């Protein structure tokens, strides 16, 4: 049985992203600016922190009013002759604009920060979080289930966040958050665990005097990459590096150690072997290009399965541009192969929703429906396929469907129906998993139809009927004539 966790008093930090609370644009100042210039700039700014830029317009530090007062207290009048470069803190702690606010609040509290710069996916500074702006969202200790990942050193410490997820998910659902939003929080914590495991392994190697031979990037694939993980995770990960084939030994050891840490922390090994510890899921930039080319050219069932997993990739640790470049190249390769996409469509069409004759819900002998096999998989697969046809970089199912709708390839009502169906399938599966865990069972995706009220069964039936229309929609998208580069019907 799971021991009940304390009630979470404030759930806003779990619902909102950093981008919603940050102040922008970034305020900065030249590294050679004098104290007088710094004072004028801070007075004109909306907050007491400035990023410091060098002669090449690179941001190389952060300067706060606390740095000014400390310098004046320490050096007196002599401090007036110091420049921004003399006063700044070089090691800038930042957070991604897509992170949830609870991550930012915990980081600021743990490091006693009043200001936290915000970066975009390319690492550019785009805004600033301030302690004042976050004051009403200050979360209590019970909410900071993931900030400890920033300093975790062991599998047990990594596992603390994992253990708190069922209660957090139940509380968020109970307070009105929709299932896709809850899945995004869960996925974010799994991604943070994977990133931290990679950081631990890299630090261990550095301390042993055996650093990585070349820049590298840890990737998550599958539901984690889509931001749609629930409470029965497994490892789907990979490594790309900028080295040569001779460097594989280091990355093989790193992949093995990362997988072991995650398994001990509550994210089990992938039964299908999709982990960087296995040769097929790590490699140099050249090896990955060749691998993707082979997948697309060979058209084998194994290759098609790999695509199902691979095209949801998200970089989570290391030199992120390596992962971003791989995704861009792989998307272009898939989009340029109509035969490959048609074969994927044939495979996707075999994934049938759990409906029987006359559109009735099709349960097994135990009165249950597997909503992963009979709902989520065909929907996720169809959305992915249409996104590949468009070449969109979106990874979440909803964002992929929205991109198809915006391209004018499927009507708005059909897109809305599919997105609503996806949300319902996630919701029913997540609630079943919470109930399974509360009963001391392994969480799964088999839903007990007897536990659903008549309106819920009707909504589920309608959702699966929407999913059953996907193969026809996919074929329409694949065969639509497009204007080169536009992704829209000509």
Let me know whether 185 and 326 are in one domain.
yes
What are the φ and ψ backbone dihedral angles of 483, each rounded to 5 degrees?
Answer: -75, 125
Do the Cβ atoms of 140 and 9 come closer than 8 Å? yes
Average pLDDT over residues 119-130: 89
Give, in degrees to the nearest 5, the angle at Cα 197 between 194 and 198: 90
Last residue of a domain, one of 336, 359, 385: 336
* Cα(362)–Cα(475) distance, integer angstroms: 25
* Cα(236)–Cα(133) distance, integer angstroms: 37
Q: What is the pLDDT of residue 10?
A: 55
The answer as to whether 190 is a domain residue is yes
What are the φ and ψ backbone dihedral angles of 386, each rounded to 5 degrees?
Answer: -65, -35
Q: What is the pLDDT of residue 399?
A: 95
Decide if pLDDT at 484 tops 50.
no
The answer as to whether 299 is a domain residue is yes
Last residue of a domain, one of 83, 113, 141: 141
pLDDT single digits (tens) 294-340: 888 876 766 677 778 899 999 999 999 999 999 999 999 999 999 89
pLDDT band of 1, cuts 50, 70, 90: very low
* Cα(176)–Cα(145) distance, integer angstroms: 20
Let me know whether 406 and 445 are in one domain.
yes
Let me know whether 242 and 295 are in one domain.
yes
Which residues 6+ apart lie within 8 Å of 83 measured at CB? 31, 32, 33, 34, 35
pLDDT band of 481, cuts 50, 70, 90: very low
pLDDT single digits (tens) 22-41: 988 888 999 999 988 898 88
Nearest residue to 47 via CA among 134, 147, 139: 134
Which H, E and C letters describe 250-268, residue by residue? HHHHHHHHHHHHHHHCCCC
Let me know whether 85 and 159 are in one domain.
no
Q: What is the pTM of this model?
A: 0.78
Let me know whether 26 and 78 are in one domain.
yes
Let me know whether 28 and 132 are in one domain.
yes
The answer as to whether 291 is a domain residue is yes
User: Which letter, b or e, does each residue of 53-77 get, where b requires 16 or more Cβ atoms within 10 Å of its Cβ?
Assistant: beeeeebebbbbbebbeebeeeeee
Let me know whether 455 and 418 are in one domain.
yes
pLDDT single digits (tens) 443-475: 999 998 988 999 999 999 999 999 999 999 999
Q: What is the pLDDT of residue 483?
A: 44
Last residue of a domain, one of 336, 368, 386: 336
Let me know whether 136 and 168 are in one domain.
no
The answer as to whether 180 is a domain residue is yes
* CATH number (domain holding residue 99): 3.10.580.10
* Cα(463)–Cα(444) distance, integer angstroms: 20
Let me know whether 133 and 265 are in one domain.
no
* CATH number (domain holding residue 213): 3.30.460.10
Let me know whether 38 and 79 are in one domain.
yes
Q: 115 - beta bridge partners?
A: 130
Residue 18: domain span? 12-141
Do the Cβ atoms of 251 and 213 come closer than 8 Å? no
Q: What is the pLDDT of residue 485?
A: 46
pLDDT band of 112, cuts 50, 70, 90: confident
* Cα(85)–Cα(212) distance, integer angstroms: 31
What are the φ and ψ backbone dihedral angles of 8, each rounded to 5 degrees?
Answer: -85, 120
Lowest mean pLDDT among 145-149, 189-193, 454-458: 145-149
The answer as to whether 485 is a domain residue is no
Angle between helix 320-335 and helix 377-390 axes, rounded to 10 deg: 80
* Cα(371)–Cα(375) distance, integer angstroms: 5
* Cα(425)–Cα(421) distance, integer angstroms: 6
Q: Helix, strand, or coil here: 430?
A: helix
The answer as to whether 93 is a domain residue is yes
Let me know whether 194 and 111 are in one domain.
no
* Cα(482)–Cα(409) distance, integer angstroms: 10
The answer as to whether 203 is a domain residue is yes
Angle between helix 470-479 and helix 454-468 axes, rounded to 10 deg: 30
* Cα(250)–Cα(211) distance, integer angstroms: 9
Count of structural domains within the chain: 3
Q: 490 or 311: whose pLDDT is higher?
A: 311
The answer as to whether 486 is a domain residue is no
pLDDT band of 145, cuts 50, 70, 90: low
Let me know whether 78 and 206 are in one domain.
no
Q: Give the DSSP H or E segment for 41.
A: helix 35-44
């Amino acid at each position: 049985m799971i021991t009940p966790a304390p009630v979470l008093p404030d759930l806003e930090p779990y619902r909102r992203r950093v981008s919603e609370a940050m102040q922008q644009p970034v305020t900065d100042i030249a590294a050679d600016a004098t104290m007088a210039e710094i004072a004028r700039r801070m007075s004109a700014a909306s907050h007491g922190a400035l990023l410091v830029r060098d002669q090449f317009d690179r941001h190389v530090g952060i300067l706060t009013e606390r740095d000014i007062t400390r310098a004046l207290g320490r050096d007196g009048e002599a401090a007036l002759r110091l420049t921004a470069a003399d006063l700044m803190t070089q090691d800038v702690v930042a957070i991604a604009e897509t992170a949830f606010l609870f991550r930012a609040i915990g980081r600021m509290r743990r490091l006693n920060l009043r200001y936290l710069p915000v970066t975009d996916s390319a690492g550019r500074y785009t805004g600033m979080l301030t302690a004042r702006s976050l004051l009403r969202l200050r979360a209590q200790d019970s909410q900071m289930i993931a900030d400890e990942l920033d300093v975790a050193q062991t599998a047990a410490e990594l596992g603390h966040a994992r253990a708190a997820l069922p209660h957090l998910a139940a509380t968020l659902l109970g307070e009105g958050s929709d299932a896709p939003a809850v899945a995004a929080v869960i996925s974010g914590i799994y991604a943070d665990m994977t990133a931290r495991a990679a950081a631990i392994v890299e630090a261990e190697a550095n301390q042993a005097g055996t650093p990585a031979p070349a820049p590298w990037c840890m990737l998550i694939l599958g539901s984690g990459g889509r931001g749609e993980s629930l409470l029965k995770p497994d490892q789907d990960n990979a490594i790309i590096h900028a080295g040569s084939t001779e460097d594989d030994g280091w990355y093989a050891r790193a992949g093995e150690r990362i997988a072991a840490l995650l398994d001990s922390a509550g994210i089990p090994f992938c039964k299908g072997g999709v982990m960087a510890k296995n040769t097929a899921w790590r490699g140099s930039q050249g090896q990955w290009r060749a691998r993707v080319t082979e997948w697309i050219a060979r058209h084998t069932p194994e290759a098609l399965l790999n695509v199902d997993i691979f095209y949801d990739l998200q970089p989570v640790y290391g030199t992120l541009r390596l992962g971003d470049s791989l995704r861009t190249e792989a998307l272009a390769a898939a989009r340029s192969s109509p035969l490959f996409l048609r074969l994927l469509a044939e495979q996707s069409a075999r994934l049938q929703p759990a409906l029987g004759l006359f559109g009735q819900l099709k349960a097994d002998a135990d009165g249950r429906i597997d909503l992963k096999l009979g709902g989520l998989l065909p929907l996720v697969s169809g959305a992915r396929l249409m996104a590949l046809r468009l070449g969109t970089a979106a990874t979440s199912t909803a964002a992929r469907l929205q991109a198809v709708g915006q391209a004018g390839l499927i009507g708005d009502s059909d897109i809305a129906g599919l997105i609503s169906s996806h949300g319902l399938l996630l919701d029913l599966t997540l609630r079943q998993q919470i109930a399974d865990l509360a009963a001391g069972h392994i969480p799964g995706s088999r839903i007990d139809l007897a536990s659903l009220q008549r309106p819920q069964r009707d909504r589920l039936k309608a959702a699966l009927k929407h999913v059953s229309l996907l193969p026809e929609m996919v074929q329409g998208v694949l065969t639509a004539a497009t204007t080169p580069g536009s992704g829209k019907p000509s």
